[in-house]
Structure 1
Amino acid sequence: MSKKTNYQPGTFQWSFLLPQYWGIWMGIIFLMILAILPWAIQHRLATFLGQIAFNKLKSRRHTTLRNLEVCFPEWTAEQLQEHAKQVFVDQMLGIFETLNAWYCPQWFKDRVSIEGLEHLHHAQADGKGVLLLGTHSTLLDAGGYLCSQYFELGVVYRPQNNPLLDMLIYRCRATIYDHQIDHDDMRGLIRNLKKGHAIWYSPDQDYGLKQGIMAPFFDVPAATVTAHRRLLKMSKSVAVPLYFYRDGDIKDPRYHVLLEPMVASIPSDNELEDATLVNKIIENQLRIAPTQYMWFHRRFKTRPEGYEEIY
């Protein structure tokens, strides 16, 4: 992960017992306690914390409202406010759901269903790797756990700056994912795909135009990463859209994993057409459960000359 510390992901270091890390250890113990609370209490806490976050995090609130406003112009002002508040509540719920996946996975028993698993099996039939095109869902690692109940998958992740926190998260994720690949380790990602693995990859954030191209997202021009085109070409793998979401009564929720047919046309010779197609796939998925997406990220922050500012 880090050249400065020579830290290897998942490796315990005796220095983690020093006083500078005690706060993190206490925080982890507190989170483990939260994970064993009944869902009714977790839901109330998430609702309460989500409302506080919506009121206090003004910048994030503004970003969320603007994202929803430009992506869902058909919504009224009241609907925008209601859905924006729910985004923050769903994010807090996602934290509890992730804690449950890490520390209390039996909570999900008989709550998970899947659709389209045959599409993954078909894509892997000839031994090719599969790039699972997903999104930054508020379900976080709970979504990965849902998928792991039906098939093996790896994940591309961004390491934490704090080595102790990174170790703890890495070890928790190791119970869910077969492979964890640093987002900077493109060789490792390609190597895993060439071995026929299924890797969850989310090309849905704005990383500027050095790594992408302007393409429509909800009919709004957005900087769209194109790295997955190169990954598919170099690894000779295929792309399969992946989506997961919470459904049903929030007091007794159900979770659904959706795998869509393989996107055989990617990569093509047209970078813009590929980016537009992937954005459209993501857009259609997000319409299923609009508030279960991290809209507080500045999806439209890159605005080249001639493009209207969003934020």
Structure 2
Amino acid sequence: MDRPRFRAAFLHPRYWLLWLGLGVLWLVVQLPYALLLKLGRVLGALMLLVAKSRRRIAARNLELCFPELSAAERARLLRENFASNGIAFFEMAMSWWWPSARLARLAHVEGLEHLQAAQQEGQGVILMSLHFTTLEIGASLLGQLHTIDGMYREHKNPLFDYIQRHGRERHNLDASAIERDDVRGMLKVLRAGRAIWYAPDQDYGRKQSIFVPLFGVPAATVTATSKFARLGKARVVPFTQQRLADGSGYRLTIHPPLADFPGDSEESDCLRINQWIEQAVRQCPEQYLWAHRRFKTRPEGAPKLYA
């Protein structure tokens, strides 16, 4: 996709309210990082009160995935999860507008050598990530250190789409955005020896998915990771990020490439991926995006899991 460009149409009165909101947000995120974390927790508490549908979905997911926890423990985890969502709102704006040097001070990076080794060997990389609430700032911090292309879905509001893409790509000037359905474009990038951010942890429907367990629940899991790795002749390198509890920033971890991947079957590959997802989520479950209906698609004859 071409680089985002400002258009005169963005000055039309129908965008003025959005410009106002963005301007206020820009001013707020100039505050110290510690204060933004506190404001994010307040915003998350408000979201917990008003976003009833998302609250029910997240609570149901926690019930399905952590049956060993008591109701009180899951309620506490739910509150922390919404606090993380509130913080993520400001992290998004920090990623878009903070000076690069200020943002870089928050990064604690481990395993960058795995990406560098693939680059030196001309090997494409599927940077296998997850939908943590910290994904926006994690991608921005890593993008300052290594070129990362990204899967992208255009926002319905063209002004917001422009702001979002401009904010994401400013740290990563050599990167390209690839439409989520552009399989040919993704394979081209991988065969060129580049790294692309990709997350296989959401429910994209029955098409091109198979059911394998995730937290003990049958989950429609995309088989595209195996296909992309095989056709793009790429390594699959897991990537996680975590907001540190001491307020010092974020731990970015580039894990070693998956060995012997793809394997003998798509089912075994999907199971392996879901086992890794479960392990990664258990490291910081409060920072995962539980408001997504991960188990919406069900095996034939199985009852629905969401009201």
Q: What TM bracket, shorter-length normalisation?
A: over 0.9
Measure the CA separation in 2 of the matches of 1:112 and 1:15.
Answer: 37
Q: RMSD between aligned alpha carbons?
A: 1.7
What is the DSSP-based 3-state SS (H/G/I as helix, E as strand, rest coil) of the residue aligned with 2:238? strand
Measure the CA separation in 1 of the matches of 2:107 and 2:47.
Answer: 29
Q: 1:189 aligns with which of 186, 191, 214?
A: 186
Contact 1:9/1:166 (<8 A) preserved? no
How many percent identity over aligned positions?
39
Aligned to 1:5: none
Give, in angstroms, the shift of residue 308 of structure 1: 3.8
Measure the CA separation in 1 of the matches of 2:135 and 2:171.
Answer: 12
Mapped pair 1:69 → 2:63: yes
Contact 2:57/2:292 (<8 A) preserved? yes
Mapped pair 1:24 → 2:21: no
Structure 2: runs of 5+ lacking an equivalent: none
Aligned to 2:298: 303
For residues 171-209 of structure 1, the C-alpha deviation after alignment (integer angstroms, 9 at most, x for no partner) is 111113322211122221111111111111000000111
Give, in angstroms, the shift of residue 12 of structure 1: 2.1
Mapped pair 1:275 → 2:270: yes
Mapped pair 1:172 → 2:167: yes
What is the DSSP-based 3-state SS (H/G/I as helix, E as strand, rest coil) of the residue aligned with 1:221? strand
Give, in angstroms, the shift of residue 82 of structure 1: 0.8
Contact 1:144/1:176 (<8 A) preserved? no
Contact 1:95/1:140 (<8 A) preserved? no
What is the DSSP-based 3-state SS (H/G/I as helix, E as strand, rest coil) of the residue aligned with 1:152? coil
After superposing the two structures, state which structure 1 stretch, 114-123 or 199-208, moved more: 114-123
What is the DSSP-based 3-state SS (H/G/I as helix, E as strand, rest coil) of the residue aligned with 2:243? strand
When normalised by structure 1's length, the TM-score is 0.92
Contact 1:286/1:293 (<8 A) preserved? yes
Mapped pair 1:225 → 2:222: yes
What is the DSSP-based 3-state SS (H/G/I as helix, E as strand, rest coil) of the residue aligned with 2:42? helix
Distance 1:137 1:23, change over 3 A: same
Alignment of 1:230-309 (within 5 A): 230-249=227-246, 252-309=247-304
Q: 2:208 aligns with which of 189, 197, 211?
A: 211
Contact 1:193/1:199 (<8 A) preserved? yes
Contact 2:125/2:237 (<8 A) preserved? yes
Measure the CA separation in 1 of the matches of 2:140 and 2:47.
Answer: 26
Distance 1:230 1:125, change over 3 A: same
Q: 2:7 aligns with which of 13, 24, 29?
A: 13
Aligned to 2:123: 128
Mapped pair 1:113 → 2:108: yes
For residues 218-264 of structure 1, the C-alpha deviation after alignment (integer angstroms, 9 at most, x for no partner) is 12110111112221122111101010111132xx3331111111113
After superposing the two structures, state which structure 1 stretch, 194-203 or 123-132, moved more: 123-132
For residues 137-167 of structure 1, the C-alpha deviation after alignment (integer angstroms, 9 at most, x for no partner) is 1013201122124322111121101111111
Mapped pair 1:85 → 2:79: yes
Contact 1:9/1:167 (<8 A) preserved? no
Measure the CA separation in 2 of the matches of 1:149 and 1:139.
Answer: 16
Contact 1:212/1:223 (<8 A) preserved? yes
Aligned to 1:202: 199
Measure the CA separation in 2 of the matches of 1:262 and 1:253.
Answer: 28
What is the DSSP-based 3-state SS (H/G/I as helix, E as strand, rest coil) of the residue aligned with 2:165? helix
Contact 1:95/1:139 (<8 A) preserved? no
Number of equivalent positions: 303
Contact 1:132/1:198 (<8 A) preserved? yes
Measure the CA separation in 2 of the matches of 1:28 and 1:247.
Answer: 27
Give, in angstroms, the shift of residue 125 of structure 1: 4.0
After superposing the two structures, state which structure 1 stretch, 93-102 or 292-301, moved more: 93-102
Measure the CA separation in 2 of the matches of 1:69 and 1:26.
Answer: 39
Distance 1:122 1:219, change over 3 A: farther
Q: 2:39 aligns with which of 31, 34, 45?
A: 45
